[in-house]
């Protein structure tokens, strides 16, 4: 189960909204959502969580590049919304290296050539030869991204690393948005 919220800073404080991600397919879509909610190009925080697995915070300040933190990259990589946040740059890959993972898997495995779940011998050999390539594509376990994404808003790098369940409540409290967030939750 996913939950997403958007916190937009205004001159009167923070405005919160429960955010639907059904139409969000890329990081650009997410940035458009944030910038549409921005008042005078002020700070917008987008919080996404998959219950008990991972959370991510995306910070958008005007037209600047987004700043992203993900609590568990390997868990997020197995999530459609998490994949949006895990950029090639964050993962230390050349731009576009992530490519189409489904096409890459289909290339490695010809599902029609096996019977009763037995592995295709040539696939196993090919997988052994590609171990070095798959190490480059591996997503690290644990936190990834910009640890200082919330530092000026009251959440230090150390505090961010220790957040687990109900991270949004801690973040909202630190930025002074608890009341407005509770209204939309």
Q: What angle do CA 164, 168, 171 make, to 5 degrees?
A: 100
Do residues 172 and 150 touch, judged by C-beta distance below 8 A? no
Average pLDDT, the chain: 80
Do residues 166 and 179 touch, judged by C-beta distance below 8 A? no
pLDDT reported for residue 123: 35
**Residue 117 predicted with pLDDT over 90:** no
pLDDT in tens, 41-75: 899 999 999 988 999 999 999 889 999 999 999 99
pLDDT in tens, 94-112: 877 655 444 444 444 444 4
In this structure, of 73-77, 87-91, 175-179, the range with the lowest mean pLDDT score is 87-91
How far, in Å, CA of 76 to CA of 91, rounded?
12
Between these two residues, 166 and 171, which has the higher pLDDT value?
A: 171
Do residues 48 and 139 touch, judged by C-beta distance below 8 A? no
How far, in Å, CA of 34 to CA of 30, rounded?
6
Strands (E), the chain: 2-10, 13-18, 43-50, 54-61, 67-70, 144-145
In this structure, of 31-45, 65-79, 125-139, 157-171, the range with the lowest mean pLDDT score is 125-139
Token pair 């994949």: residue = 83
**Residue 182 predicted with pLDDT over 90:** no
pLDDT reported for residue 127: 39
Between these two residues, 135 and 65, which has the higher pLDDT value?
A: 65
Do residues 79 and 50 touch, judged by C-beta distance below 8 A? yes
pLDDT reported for residue 97: 61
In this structure, of 71-75, 114-118, 162-166, the range with the lowest mean pLDDT score is 114-118
pLDDT reported for residue 48: 93
């Amino acid at each position: 189960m996913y939950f997403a919220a958007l916190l937009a800073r205004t001159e009167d404080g923070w405005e919160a909204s429960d955010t639907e991600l059904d139409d969000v397919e890329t990081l650009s879509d997410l940035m458009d959502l944030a910038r549409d909610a921005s008042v005078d190009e002020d700070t917008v925080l987008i919080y996404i969580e998959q219950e008990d697995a991972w959370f991510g915070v995306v910070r958008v300040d005007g037209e600047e590049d987004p700043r992203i933190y993900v609590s568990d990259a390997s868990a997020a990589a197995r999530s459609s919304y998490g994949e949006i946040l895990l950029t090639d740059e964050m993962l230390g890959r050349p731009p576009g290296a992530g490519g189409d993972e489904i096409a890459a898997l289909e290339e490695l495995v010809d599902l029609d050539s096996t019977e009763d779940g037995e592995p295709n011998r040539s696939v196993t050999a090919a997988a052994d030869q590609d171990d070095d390539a798959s190490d480059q594509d591996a997503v690290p376990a644990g936190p990834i991204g910009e640890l200082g994404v919330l530092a000026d808003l009251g959440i230090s790098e150390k505090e961010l690393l220790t957040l687990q369940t109900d991270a949004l409540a801690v973040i909202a409290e630190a930025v002074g948005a608890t009341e407005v967030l509770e209204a939309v939750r």
